[in-house]
Amino acid sequence: MPKPGVEPVRRKALIDAAIAAIGARGSLDVTMSDIASRAGVSSALAHHYFGAKEELLQATMRRILADLGGDSVKALRKAATPRERLSAIVNVNFSASQFRQEIIQAWLAFYVEAQKSQPLRRLLRVYARRLHANLMSGLVPLMPRAEAERMAEGIAAMIDGLYIRRALRDGLPNPASAAALVEDYVDAKLRRARPAPAND
């Protein structure tokens, strides 16, 4: 009877520790030793499970993305109308579990690292595409597709921008007002937008 896999437990602990370390440091240049000791293990063990530092960081990013993805799916399920879908997406991004200091800083750090790391860039692309698709699912019924495309871009940019500014602790003081700002943008645009032709 093999010990009930301690491996997944350790991997999770190490990824959590990585997020904490990145959050504390504000950037990705945390040491393996720092991460490992936060997880209560030796740095050698971190290498044992993840091979190289880069892979641990990728796994960490993947986790952050997966969490956001999970939350998004859940939120979208409850949305009845296109407009509600938009709100769902916006709210998820500024929810208590996502819009936390350490997560925000990790996002920012990963954005920078993605400049050098192909795998990380690929992960961010996945995220960007998913966000775009989700937004489009709410926008397309409400306006012509070309307009929807542009608006999805605008919303995504505003969300990312609010993250950055929050990282500096120089933006809006609370998630609620950040979310409200995006919603306000959406409303302003929808006021004038004609719904898309029914046969679209």
Partner DNA sequence: AATGAATGAGCCTTCATTCAT
Partner DNA sequence: AATGAATGAAGGCTCATTCAT
Angle at 100 between CA 95 and CA 103, to 5 degrees: 110
Q: Based on CB atoms, which residue is closest to a second copy, 34 or 113?
A: 113
Shortest distance, position 74 Cβ to a second copy, whole Å? 25
The answer to whether 159 contacts a second copy (rule: CB under 8 A) is: yes
Query: Are residues 173 and 127 in contact, defined by beta-carbon separation less than 8 angstroms?
Result: no
Q: What is the DSSP string of 47-82?
A: HHHHSSHHHHHHHHHHHHHHHHHHHHHHHHHT--SH
Q: Which does 3 bind (CB under 5 to 8 A by kind): DNA, a second copy, none?
A: DNA
Query: Are residues 45 and 32 in contact, defined by beta-carbon separation less than 8 angstroms?
Result: no
Q: Which does 165 bind (CB under 5 to 8 A by kind): DNA, a second copy, none?
A: a second copy
Q: What is the DSSP string of 148-181?
A: HHHHHHHHHHHHHHHHHHHHTT-S-SSHHHHHHH
Binding characters for a second copy, 115-134, by CB under 8 A (x = yes) = xx----x--xx--x------
Residues at the site binding a second copy, with contacts judged by CB under 8 A = 25-27, 29, 105, 108-109, 111-116, 121, 124-125, 128, 150, 153-154, 156-162, 164-165, 167-168, 170-172, 177, 181, 184-185, 188-189, 191-192
